[in-house]
Amino acid sequence: MTGADLHTLTGAYALHALLDDERTEFERHLAQCEPCTQEVRELAATAGRLGLAMTTTPPPALKADVLRRISTVRQDPPRTTPLAPHVTRTGRTRTLTRLALAACLAAAVALGGTAAWQHQRADTARDQAKSAQKQYRQLADVLTAPDAKATTGPVTGGANATLVIARSRDQAVFLASGLTRPPAGKVYQLWFNDAGTMRPAGLMNPTQTTEAVLLTGPVDQATGMGITLEPTGGSPHPTTTPLAVMAFPHA
């Protein structure tokens, strides 16, 4: 295995998907490669954050399916070119490609796979992959922010939810598992709680029972969020009793 090949194993290592001999060789490489060490930390943090809301056991075939699919897409190695003297390394430096991969891998394992992997034609697959990369990059930016704070709580109907807020980014992410699929013509809608006034913050996918959603819009002065069942397309104001109201965790 060449040095360049070793750089591409960060995702598999973070997901404990390497064989024993591969893991041993890669750990020797980690001891000498700071970019790979940082990338492993980011991948592991993303997977951990996305796993906060999970209480269900993934299908037995999921791991094999994910590994089979990611084996067909070559991972870009981390940037190893020394930084210029005037550039300060903050520990948060990353490339968009690495962030997209981190989020895609973590979401595929922790959330049971996504539509990005469920394609039939190459052209459709590329469009889905680009959309998924953008979505997961945004999720990863919030979930791995240095000041990200999380809180958990129940949702009416038996679901579990995790709310993550990153004040530095003025954004929040809602993760839910075990949701009951909404009736036909209905959708779960998210809201920011602005001192008792609910502000629309996005819709959930009605076909998903487990999902991570970046709340639409800035957090601003909101103290929490809520989720209601609304007509397809959403409502300007809640029309039903909230299924959950969660306060943002304190800094």
Last residue of a domain, one of 109, 143, 177: 143
Based on the domain organization, do 164 and 117 belong to the same domain? no
Residue 180 burial by Cβ neighbours in a 10 Å radius (0-12, 13-18, 19+): middle
Domain count, the chain: 2
Average pLDDT over residues 159-183: 90
Based on the domain organization, do 59 and 177 belong to the same domain? no
- Bridge partners for 206 per DSSP: none
Based on the domain organization, do 71 and 135 belong to the same domain? yes
Based on the domain organization, do 102 and 219 belong to the same domain? no
Average pLDDT, the chain: 75
pLDDT value of position 202? 95
Based on the domain organization, do 160 and 221 belong to the same domain? yes
Q: Quote the domain boundaries for residue 192.
A: 149-247
Based on the domain organization, do 108 and 219 belong to the same domain? no
- State the Cα–Cα distance between residues 251 and 248, nearest whole angstrom: 9
Based on the domain organization, do 136 and 232 belong to the same domain? no
Q: What is the dihedral of CA 83, 84, 87, 90, to 10 degrees?
A: 10
Q: Is the pLDDT of residue 203 over 50?
A: yes
Tens of pLDDT, residue by residue over 79-103, are 554 444 433 333 333 333 444 444 4
Tens of pLDDT, residue by residue over 134-143, are 777 788 888 8
Based on the domain organization, do 115 and 183 belong to the same domain? no
pLDDT value of position 8? 82
More confident residue, 188 or 59: 188
Last residue of a domain, one of 143, 171, 188: 143
148: left (phi over 0), alpha (psi -120 to 50) or beta: beta
Based on the domain organization, do 154 and 48 belong to the same domain? no
